[in-house]
Amino acid sequence: MASLDEQLQHYFSQVKKKVPNKAQQQVITKAGADQLRDSYFNATKSKHYRYGRNTSHVKHLADAVVADDHDVDGYATGSSTVGFEKDPINHARIALFLNNGTVHIKGDHFIDTAIQSSKDKVLAAEYAKYKALTGGDSH
């Protein structure tokens, strides 16, 4: 029979296999970010898209939605981000005004709604990627 120390070491090695490393976290969170990006795109397109607008200089807001497998500062930390492009104009600022409102614009909270409505899809995408990379929570 194995000693308690050997049993604990075996248990630790099994648990360690289930904890994703930074590179795996990056892949997992990017899968969720892609789902959230799609939700942002659909919400933005349904609420704030003007067909026929000249987009030769500036994209539509919906077409400026991006997902990145780095944190907001551009570092590979295992986190991913979703938002709007800032170049050539700050689409994120425009989205903020439309979402929250201003003195002159009534906010419609389309981003907040997109986040709430996509939580299950985001978690499902991340869990599927987690299972593929780590073997999931099987014993």
pTM: 0.86
Average pLDDT estimate for 72-78 = 93
Q: Which residues, 6 or more positions from 121, have their beta carbon under 8 angstroms from its beta carbon?
A: 35, 39
Most confident of 14-18, 56-60, 63-67: 63-67
Please state, rounded to an integer, the average pLDDT across all residues of the chain. Answer: 92
Gap between the Cα atoms of 28 and 131, Å rounded? 10
Task: Residue count of the chain, please give it.
Answer: 139
pLDDT band, residue 80 (cuts 50/70/90): very high
Q: Which two tokens stand for residue 38?
A: 């799609």
- Using one digit for the tens of pLDDT, what is the confidence trace for 2-18? 888 888 898 888 888 78
Rg of the chain over all Cα atoms, to the nearest angstrom: 20
